[in-house]
Structure 1
Amino acid sequence: MTDNAAASSVPAGLWAVRLGAIIWFLLIVGCLMALPVMLDATWLLVAAAVVLALLAGALWAFLRRLISSRHGRFGHDWLKGGLAAFFVLCIAIAAPIYYIAVKTETDPALLPRAVLTNGEKTVVYQGMMHIGTERFYKQVVYDAEKALSDGYVLYYEGVQPNPEGDKWFADNLAGGGDLSDNYRKLGEMCGLQFQLGYFDLLEKDKAVHPQSHVTADVDTLQMKQEYDRLMASDPEFAAAFQAEQAAQSNAGGDMAGAMGFLDNLTEGQKKLSGYVCRFMMSRVAKGNGEARQIDKVILDFRNRKLAERILADPHDKIYITYGAHHLEGILPLLQQADPRWRVESVSWIRPVEAPEQFEASL
């Protein structure tokens, strides 16, 4: 007897039983994977799923008795429909968390390490994020130390304080409170690290060779002055910035307040928020966000100042650690001053990934 003949001899009802068994198996496995996520969020999710499943099961049993002459006992149909509904609800609730976790790992954000040159001066531009993995920052610091030994001058990003602009900066651009503290708390929520702690490793060389370490950024007063200029001369900027501020206020206040709310989460909720946070940070690193008028201050203005500093610097080798989104604006500015500027090479590094956890026994 051939395989086709054997397959055709299997009753259709048996195929239905086999398919049903496979479906139940997948539902059970999916539910078992979903329950830890739901319990990490809150046990109330499980309780709500049970109640909804019981209601759905009762409705299923009632409808089946109305539309089908082949039905079992009401209690049996209720239990079977309720279990199926509970499994489906659990999977649906946990699926978004699994999606963003898998998406972050399989489609990671990448930051450039671009070598720019005009034939006379070489600039190594290492794109940065304010929070990332320990491995990412250690690799950047290692590269920076090597660049120092090769005779490069290090440029650092970091808006400098100025008493006349600090309050404006904190209220309008830093999300309220201290920006470094906010980033540090955000890093804790994401299961990531704040960058400044790792650059402390270069302090010893900075003390010996201060001329090789340059904070190549503007101060808060300069940013405020640019903001004031745009508010007075650019109606589109003024209207959009006011709308953005109103939207932020309606969405729940400043960043410091949001960080305070996160302090009250349970350990399980913090773990889940870490998945969401790393997903969002990956999107930010990829540039998946709408352009904002305030970028004229945060990006465009600082890009111009950094390009001017690079062009005026007498050193022929500069290593820059700066936000990755600045690179696409800085290169055209350099090329406007000297068309010979070009990208000589680019390599990529991953800044965001799930924290590594190792367990063993002696």
Structure 2
Amino acid sequence: MALSHDAVVRLKTLGWALLLFLFLISAPLLWAASPLLLAGVVLVGALLGLMIHVARRLPRRARWSPDRTQAALIGAALLTGLVAAPIWWLVLQPALYPLAVPRVTLSDGRREVVFQGMVHVGSEQFYRSVAYDLLRAKAAGYVLFFEGVQPGTPEADAWLDAATQSGGDLNAQYAQIGDVCGLSFQGNFLAFVQRDEALDPAHLVTADVSVTEMYEEWQRLVAADPALAETLPASDGHGDGMFDMSSALQVAAGLKDSQKDLLAAVCKGIFSVVLGRAESPDALNRVILDFRNRRLAERIAALPDADIYITYGSAHFPGLFRELQAQDPAWRIMGTAWTAAILPPDEAAGRLQLAPP
């Protein structure tokens, strides 16, 4: 059944309204990235719309008509929306699917172990709350266990750099990424608690392994299964992975304020998506996760009468819990609380509505 003239007019009006809305919510995002980017997308979209229109009307060979103008406008609006869509998707991720980390309370019936899941880069509010909990736990007599792989021999450090495609000081790298992404590095907030470790080693403990221990464990695994050696990424010894990241950070540091704001919003979305995924299978995880989990469980077992508060990467918890239960089946999860690790900034600007004097 053919639509009436009024129905066609209404549908066309609705269609143009939707296209206008799509363009209005997409164009500012591309403008913030670069006015040239917006101009290029609009131009390419208009040309694509024209090409499709001309291809459909080619036999008629008509001169320029309002239909061609409409085709150009439709193409420009649609392509602008398509290019902006993935950016919008990333920007909205922290609000739609917040990256939550657990705080799990464990007990074997005699003492309590609290595991606070961490991320290397997160929101300032999150780290402030963790630091406050650490101080409270220390005042209550808990032993504080901190994550932090200790330096190793030059050979071991070179192996880890090549295996992880990094280039040395990962902490400095995390701090730079935090600055670019409008986030914070965990070391900037927990260091003030750890700095007294030498004064109170009984209650402040860096419970992690050294790079040398990780390297020795990898060598042991490779000796038992030589095929593992082929799973590590090839390296030419020039640190290409770090060079690329360093170059990207340098470019980001030179962006305009509006571009930095957009990049920070996109970064938060990327962190929410990537860190929210389950840990992917990786042969190196047998050292980075499994080996360190075993050592952490051994450290917990070495203090049978102490309540312990642990700050470790969230990915470590499942393996740590398995290791604890393997040592003593009495270990149980007593409670779990969740905290968003990436939050909107808590700084806001407003205006007081004061009555005139």
Q: Which residue of 2 aligns with 1:42?
A: 34
Residue 232 of structure 1 aligns with an amino acid whose one-letter code is A
Q: Displacement, 1:60?
A: 4.7
Q: Is contact 1:57-1:77 (8 Å) kept?
A: no
Q: Which residue of 2 aligns with 1:150?
A: 140
1:34-84 Cα offsets, whole Å, 9 max, x none, are: 11221233333223223323323433553564589xx9x733222111011
Q: Which residue of 2 aligns with 1:52?
A: 44
Q: 2:184 aligns with which of 186, 190, 193?
A: 193
Q: Which residue of 2 aligns with 1:110?
A: 100
SS in 2 for 1:349: strand
Q: d(CA) in 1 for partners of 2:221 and 2:194?
A: 37
1:117-144 Cα offsets, whole Å, 9 max, x none, are: 1001210000111110011101111111
Q: Is contact 1:116-1:342 (8 Å) kept?
A: yes
SS in 2 for 1:112: strand
Q: Which residue of 2 aligns with 1:304?
A: 294
Q: Which residue of 1 aligns with 2:322?
A: 332
1:140-184 Cα offsets, whole Å, 9 max, x none, are: 111111111211010000011234433433343371131111111
Q: d(CA) in 1 for partners of 2:216 and 2:205?
A: 23
Unpaired runs of at least 5, structure 1: 1-10
Q: d(CA) in 2 for partners of 1:167 and 1:61?
A: 59
Q: Which residue of 2 aligns with 1:7?
A: none
Residue 246 of structure 2 aligns with an amino acid whose one-letter code is M
Q: d(CA) in 2 for partners of 1:25 and 1:294?
A: 53
**Stretch moving more, 143-152 or 276-285:** 276-285
SS in 2 for 1:264: helix
Change in CA separation of 1:100 and 1:355 when aligned onto 2, cut-off 3 Å: same
Q: 1:62 aligns with which of 51, 54, 69?
A: 54
Change in CA separation of 1:316 and 1:55 when aligned onto 2, cut-off 3 Å: same
Q: 1:217 aligns with which of 193, 200, 208?
A: 208
**Stretch moving more, 179-188 or 266-275:** 266-275
Q: Is contact 1:283-1:289 (8 Å) kept?
A: no
Q: Which residue of 2 aligns with 1:253?
A: 240
**Stretch moving more, 257-266 or 327-336:** 257-266
Q: d(CA) in 2 for partners of 1:138 and 1:126?
A: 13
Q: d(CA) in 1 for partners of 2:265 and 2:281?
A: 25
Q: Which residue of 2 aligns with 1:176?
A: 167
Q: Is contact 2:50-2:71 (8 Å) kept?
A: yes
Matched, 1:129 2:116: no
Residue 43 of structure 1 aligns with an amino acid whose one-letter code is P
Residue 13 of structure 2 aligns with an amino acid whose one-letter code is A
Q: 2:12 aligns with which of 15, 20, 25?
A: 20
Residue 173 of structure 1 aligns with an amino acid whose one-letter code is T
Q: 1:237 aligns with which of 228, 233, 236?
A: 228
1:68-101 Cα offsets, whole Å, 9 max, x none, are: 9xx9x73322211101110111000000011122
Unpaired runs of at least 5, structure 2: 353-357
Q: Displacement, 1:305?
A: 0.5
Q: Which residue of 2 aligns with 1:84?
A: 74
Q: d(CA) in 2 for partners of 1:112 and 1:197?
A: 21
Matched, 1:283 2:273: yes
Q: Is contact 2:46-2:74 (8 Å) kept?
A: no
Residue 82 of structure 2 aligns with an amino acid whose one-letter code is A
**Stretch moving more, 104-113 or 84-93:** 104-113
Q: Which residue of 2 aligns with 1:202?
A: 193
SS in 2 for 1:254: helix
Change in CA separation of 1:315 and 1:285 when aligned onto 2, cut-off 3 Å: farther
Q: d(CA) in 2 for partners of 1:37 and 1:207?
A: 50
Q: Displacement, 1:303?
A: 0.5
Matched, 1:341 2:341: no
1:279-327 Cα offsets, whole Å, 9 max, x none, are: 3322343233521110011001101100001001144200000111111
Two-structure CA RMSD over aligned residues (Å): 2.7
Change in CA separation of 1:245 and 1:104 when aligned onto 2, cut-off 3 Å: farther
Q: d(CA) in 1 for partners of 2:198 and 2:177?
A: 30
SS in 1 for 2:65: helix
Q: d(CA) in 2 for partners of 1:188 and 1:161?
A: 25
Q: d(CA) in 1 for partners of 2:5 and 2:347?
A: 48
Q: d(CA) in 2 for partners of 1:285 and 1:52?
A: 35
Residue 187 of structure 2 aligns with an amino acid whose one-letter code is L
Give the TM-score taking structure 2 as reference length.
0.87
Q: Displacement, 1:361?
A: 5.5
Q: d(CA) in 1 for partners of 2:22 and 2:56?
A: 26
SS in 2 for 1:191: coil
SS in 2 for 1:146: helix
Q: d(CA) in 1 for partners of 2:126 and 2:112?
A: 23
Change in CA separation of 1:34 and 1:356 when aligned onto 2, cut-off 3 Å: farther
**Stretch moving more, 136-145 or 33-42:** 33-42
Q: Displacement, 1:108?
A: 1.4
Q: d(CA) in 2 for partners of 1:34 and 1:52?
A: 15
